[in-house]
Structures are given as C-alpha cells and as structure tokens.
Amino acid sequence: MKHITLREPEKDKFSLKNIPPGSKFHFIGLGGIGMSALARILLQSGYKISGSDLNKNHLLEYFEKQGSEIYTGHCAENLNNPCAVIKSSAIKEDNPEFKKALENNIPVIHRAELLNALMTGFNQKSIGITGTHGKTTTTGMIATIFHKTAQQPSFAIGGEIPQLGTNSAFGRGGYFISELDESDGTIEFYSPDISIITNLELEHTDHYKDGFEQLLLTMSRFIDQSPAQAKIIINIDDPGNNKLIERSKRNKFITYSIESNDADYFAEIIETVPEGKFKVYKKTCFLGEVKLGVAGRHNISNALAAIAASLECNLQFEDISLALSGFTGMKKRFQTVGFANNARLIDDYAHHPTEIKATINTTRNIADLRGKGRVIAVFQPHKYTRFEKFWNEFLQSFDEADLVCICDIYSAEESPIQGVSSEEFSKQLNHSGSYYIKGSLDRVAEELIKEIRADDMVLTMGAGNITKLGGIIIDKVNKKA
C-alpha cells in the first residue's frame, strides 16, 4: 500500500522566512483556481509572480493587469530567474518548465508546500477545512464571516466568493483560512491550529487506489500529527468521520451535528428551502437562530461547521449569524447563472454521486415548494476512472429529477476505458426521462433549448467545461429573441 509519508524535517523544509519580498515565484498552471489563490496572496504580500497555462482566462488576466509576466502555453523560456517554481500534482515530469527548473537547480515546490508556508509564515492562526464534500463552501462561509466581522483574514479557497469577487486575499488580521485538498495525499503537509473535517467518502481513486482504507490512513496521519493544543472540529453525522475518530490516537474532538444533540454543536433544522433556517445549540445552551442565503440540508451542516470554528475563535454569535445571512454561495456551487425561456439555469460543481444526489434533492425540494416547474439534470461525467469506479452509484443518483441529460465524458486528459461511455450509461439508467446528447456543448445547448419550459430548474453538473453550458444557452436564446 503506497502513501505519501512526510517526516517532520521534510514537512517544514520550505519557508518564506528566508525569501525577501520582491522575489519572484513562477507558477506552472497559474490559471487553475487553487494555484491562482496562492499567487494572489504572494502578490499582495509583496512578492512578484510569473506564470503560464495552456489557455488564458480571467484569473490570468488579473495577474497580467497587475504587471505579472503571463504566458500562454508551457515552454522552458517562460522561466526568467524565479526564486522557486510552483507546481501541482497535475504537472508531470515531461513539462518543459518543470524540466528546466530541475536542470538549473531552481527549487520546485508543490502547491501544498507553498500553502503550508503561507499558513505558517505570517504569524496568523490557521484554520484548515477539508473533507470529501462541502469544504469549498464551508471555507467560503468562514472567510465571509471573518471578513464581515472586520477580522481582516488571509484566505485561500478552491472557489470564488461572488460577494468578495475573489478566491483568496492577504489580510493583516490574526487568521489564515484555507481549504485543504485531500485528493492527492498532500493533506499531510499541514498542521492547522483549527481543522474542520466535513465528511469522508471514497473519491479520487486515481490516487487512493487501495480504496477507503488508504484515505482513512492518510487522514489519520493528518490529524494525529497536529499539535496537542490544535482543535479538530468534525461532523459526527458522517460514517467515514466516525471511523476516523475511532482510528485516531487523539482523544479529544469538537463535534457538530444536524442529527444528534449529543454533539458539542447541534443544529435543529427549521427549513431547508427556499433557504436554510435552523436553531443553534452549544451543548444544551441555545445560542439563537440562523437564516442562510443558500438552500439545502447539506449547507446547514456546512454552516454549522463554520459557526463552530468562528465561536472557537471567540467571535460573537449575532455577528456570525448576520454574516451568514448574506452568504449566497460559492461560484459553481448551486449558482444561478441566469434565465432562458423563463427557466432558471443553475450551475453546480457536483461530480460525485453523493454530491449529485444532494444537489438534485435540494432542487426537487425547491420545485415542490413552488408547486411548479420541472427539475432537469444535465450531467457531464468527469474522468473515465471516476465514472467507472462509481458507475453503479451514479445510476442511483438521478431519481429525483424529472429529466436527465447525459453529456459526453470530460476526460481531463485520461484515456478512454472500454465499455465506459455516456451513451451506455444512459441506456442503463433506470429513468423514464433520461437521454444522451452526443457532441459539443453547443449541440447540447441546442437540444436543451427545445426542451426547457417556463419555471423549469435546469441543473448543469460536473467538474469539466459543463460550467459554460448555462451561458451558451442564454446567448443562443437571446440571439433568437
């Protein structure tokens, strides 16, 4: 069984302490949401940035406007005397910029190493949020709370907060809030002062080839290496988390739940749609009510985690509640992108069966509350390996939708797997309203425009380029108007 195991000297080897402001960092794949978050913090804290990506997007344009050296495409000439090169697990050894850095003895730092250095390098208390589902939204909620309560936090998130217009910032306050990615094992780089674990379920099987046990061992090492005084806030509604608690050497956790009032923090749900509303208890002490700007049972759980972390940092409940009432979600997380033919188009990052089921269920509840309109689920599978691994689970995820449209698989540069296709999945899906649309997003949009009616709620779901579909539909409808 293979794992990433980090000895203490290795984990602490990269630090910003000996790198003076004004030094330049080069990012391979700067246009990615996670990489750009770290680059922005470096830029705002006094360092210089250069970077490349295969295609230009709004994130690269931001750095270009700041005077950074930005390149489209990867080539060795893009490196112009940086103090270090930053890469993610997606960058392979044959990347020309990676190869040149090694040839010229330029330090190559994994993005997780840099994030750990940022979290520990500014004398700020670190709050790290991880888990299979919900970590981006939970991190966004906490960052919003700390921003709205004038804490001036630093934060780095794998998604944009629409109200703040960014996914990261360097703040002068006392806290650094960050989403911690468990997908590739680099979660072990971190030792936050406060950790939040939303849930644990098998995912990212390209890394966790030995299944859930490998994930559990990785997460056990993550929390067991935390300092004794560190706080671990964990959702005990989740079976995977409960297995982690049993496995851990730690004997103290701060628990939260929307099901059990035995937890340290408990939410009594009043309603889940059109927005979440609930009562909050700390032990047996009633703290007050919270009304969210987002819907869904899962978001109440995310909010409770954010509330627990904020209270553990001595913020006032009334201020926390007020900040959460104005939180309207993260970009690509149940985000309304517009309307077409008087149907609401909603984009969601859901690409795992559990996420898809939760997103459709929330939409179903909203439609039922309104008493009109259909739920149309448009799903783009992400990666052949994930689709194959969770094939049967995906088949059980669409029951609450009225119509299901399956798009071609977004390969993420994976090779096809025989027998794994969207067409075959659509045939096996036991749903009277399912069909497969072959081809480009343009073609998918044309077919959907023929189908959608007033009051429908159209969900576009996936981690690939499906996020563009809502905008394409709107543009086509407007041109025909």
- Choosing from 97, 113, 160, 179, which is the catalytic residue? 179
Judge whether 135 counts as a catalytic residue. yes
Instruction: Identify the active-site residue in 87, 135, 332, 383.
Output: 135
Q: Is 179 a catalytic residue?
A: yes
User: Which structure tokens are listed for 369?
Assistant: 């509350």
**Is 275 annotated as catalytic?**
no
Per annotation, catalytic residue among 136, 144, 186, 359: 136
Q: Which of 435, 273, 452 is nearest to 373 (CA)?
A: 452
Tell me which residues are annotated as active site.
135-136, 179
